[in-house]
Amino acid sequence: MANTNSKAVEITFGEHVGKMAATFPAVAAIEQATGVALITLAQQLVAGTLPIRTQALMVAEFLRAGGEESVTIDGVGKHLIAAGARSDAVIAPLGDVLRLALLGDDALEGDQQR
């Protein structure tokens, strides 16, 4: 179920635009699946050491939270590779949704939504 109380962050894969939402269930699922705290995953994203499968898992969970319930990790992974998993088009929106999860809805205040 989508979180209508949180700002959504758009991520674009070719012609498809998805909306990622930072919700507690998404964060809990990510931390449970990876065994790593979200802050550490955010640090790995910034450092460029976040594994691509983990990146796909995170994007998939945030997309599910944004209302795309049928998304799969493998499907997202294919889109990540096609878009360039380390490209700004992928890293920037994932970074934005992580900022929302860690700092709250005001984290993007003044930033242009992606």
Asked if the model's pLDDT at residue 35 lies above 60, the reply is yes
| DSSP class of 107 | G
The SS3 of residue 16 is strand
Report CA dihedral (28, 98, 60, 22) to the nearest 10 degrees: 60
Per residue in 55-98, pLDDT tens? 999 999 999 999 999 999 999 999 999 999 999 999 999 999 99
Instruction: Give the model's confidence band at 6: pLDDT under 50 very low, under 70 low, under 90 confident, else very high.
Output: low
Percent of the chain, pLDDT > 90?
79
Supply 79's token pair.
Answer: 């889109």
Asked if the model's pLDDT at residue 3 lies above 70, the reply is no
